[in-house]
Structure formats: C-alpha cells, structure tokens
C-alpha cells in the first residue's frame, strides 16, 4: 500500500490495472493447461530422436502453447503485484485436473480434488511469503 | 500402484528437482548480465538452459506412464525446491507464510497421490 494518499482517479486506475492483470494472468493459466494436455498426448508417442520429436504433432503444439503462455505471462506480470497473482497462477492446477477428467477420461475422485484445492491454497499462502 | 506408475512418479519428481537447479543457474547467470548482449553467453545461463531441457525430457518420459491428473500436481513440488535453494544459495529470507505454503503443497500432492491409489 502506498503511503501517499491516492486521488479517487488514480485509485480507480490502479483498480482497473489490477483487474486487467488478473484477467490476463487467468487467460495465461488456460493456455498453460492446454499445453499440459498436449504434452501428455505427445508423451504417449514420445520418441527421443530429432525426427521423432519433430513429427510429434501434439508435442510441437504443446510447445507452441507453452511458448505463447510464457510470453503472455511476462507481459501480464509486468504491471502486476506477484503476491496477488500467485493464487491465480495456481489455477493452472484446477484447469489441468478438470481437462484430464473431461478430455483424457481420467477418473475423478475426492482425494485428487481435495489435493488440488490444498495445493492452490498452499501456493496462495506461499505467495504472501514474499511480503514482510 | 503399478510399477509403471511408480516409475513415472519418480521421473516427474526427479525432473522437478533438476528443473529447480535450472532456475538456480539462470539466477546465477542473470546476476552476471550487463549492458552487453554478449553477457548472455555465459556458462551459468547455458547450464541453466541445459538443465531445463534435461528436466523437460525426463518430465515427458514420466508423463508417458501415468495419469496427468496425478503427475501434473507434482510439478507444484518445484516451489519447494526453489524456496530451499533460494534460502541455501541466495540467503533469501524464509517467512512463516513460505513454510505454511510449502507444508500445504506437500499435503496436497500427498492427497492427489492417495487419489491415484483409489
């Protein structure tokens, strides 16, 4: 928090900047989740030769999404306060889990779901640790 | 738990540790950057990138043999290694929040592991 009293205008500017960062970072987590699903699909036919890697379409697509995620994340985090963004970044774990149930037909259960919620809370708490 | 799943879990675990050392070397390399583009060609950055690549290959090999809903949450263990190395190598402060977050992540990964055994 700034010690300088903010004018109403700059306060709403800060609020809208924060909202923009939250939306951008949330969008990034979706890109990351798509990349992870593609990596899993690519890993299924993983052949560790140059030709094997270059002809692995899901793997290449996963790398493309991951690259896009990284670039978008750098832009999104430029004006964001990282401690606020940690819980949002951790949403990746939620999206990946939901997509594995939906697209990869992996079996949902209570322990997995509880585990994901605990991890997201853990990342959020850890993110607060950067502040004194 | 099948032998294949255990192998996958071990591989993803090792990939996480290797990747966290990648971050340490990138940080060491970043500390040596100056205004010259040539400063990007330094051994620490190269080792960092190599560790990340190695980590990715091991991660993908691990992904092959197990459900993503079990293996991906293990990526969050990377936060723990990174915090440990930050404290050990860069003397960054350990706060109660960081401790609590680490503990919650371990519990969460353990719960997901229990879920895979169901």
Per-residue pLDDT of chain A (132 residues; tens, 9 = 90+): 545 555 566 778 888 888 888 999 999 999 999 999 999 999 999 999 999 999 999 999 999 999 999 999 988 888 888 888 999 999 999 999 999 999 999 999 999 999 999 999 999 999 987 764
d(CA B45, CA B37): 13
Question: Is A69 an interface residue toward B (CB < 8 Å)?
Answer: no
Q: Do A116 and B112 form a contact (C-beta atoms < 8 A)? A: yes
Chain A CB contacts of B62 below 8 Å: 43
Both structure tokens of A7: 């004018």
Q: Does B49 touch chain A (CB under 8 A)?
A: no
The 10s digit of each residue's pLDDT in B19-31 is 999 999 999 999 8
- Which two structure tokens, joined as six digits, stand for B62? 């691990």
Give the model's pLDDT for residue A3: 57
Size of interface A-B (CB pairs under 8 A): 132
From first to last of its 118 residues, chain B has per-residue pLDDT tens of 789 999 999 999 999 999 999 999 999 999 888 888 888 889 999 999 999 999 999 999 999 999 999 999 999 999 999 999 999 999 999 999 999 999 999 999 999 999 988 7
CA distance A31 to chain B (A): 15
In the prediction, which pLDDT does A7 show?
58
CA distance B114 to B57: 26
Identify the CA nearest to B70 among candidates B4, B5, B16.
Answer: B5
DSSP state letters, B49-113: HHHHHHHHHHHHHHHHTS-HHHHGGGGGHHHHHHHHHHHHHH-PPP-HHHHHHHHHHHHHHHHHH
């Amino acid at each position: 928090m700034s010690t300088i009293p903010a004018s109403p205008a700059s306060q709403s500017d800060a609020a809208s900047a924060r909202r923009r960062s939250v939306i951008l970072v949330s969008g990034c987590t979706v890109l990351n989740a798509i990349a992870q699903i593609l990596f899993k699909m690519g890993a299924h036919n993983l052949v560790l030769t140059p030709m094997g890697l270059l002809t692995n379409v899901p793997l290449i697509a996963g790398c493309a999404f991951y690259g896009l995620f990284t670039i978008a994340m750098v832009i999104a985090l430029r004006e964001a306060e990282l401690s606020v963004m940690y819980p949002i970044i951790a949403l990746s774990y939620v999206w990946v889990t939901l997509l594995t149930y939906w697209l990869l037909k992996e079996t949902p259960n209570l322990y997995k779901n509880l585990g994901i919620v605990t991890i997201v809370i853990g990342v959020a708490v850890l993110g607060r640790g950067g502040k004194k | 738990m099948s032998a294949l799943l255990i192998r996958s879990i071990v591989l993803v675990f090792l990939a996480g540790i290797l990747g966290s050392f990648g971050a340490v070397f990138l940080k060491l390399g970043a500390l040596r950057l100056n205004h010259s583009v040539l400063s990007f060609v330094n051994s620490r950055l190269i080792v960092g990138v190599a560790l990340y690549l190695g980590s990715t290959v091991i991660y993908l090999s691990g992904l092959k043999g197990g459900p993503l809903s079990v293996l991906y949450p293990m990526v969050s263990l990377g936060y723990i290694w990174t915090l440990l190395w930050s404290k050990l190598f860069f003397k960054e402060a350990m706060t109660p929040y960081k401790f609590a977050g680490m503990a919650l992540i371990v519990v969460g990964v353990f719960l997901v592991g229990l879920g895979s055994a169901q």
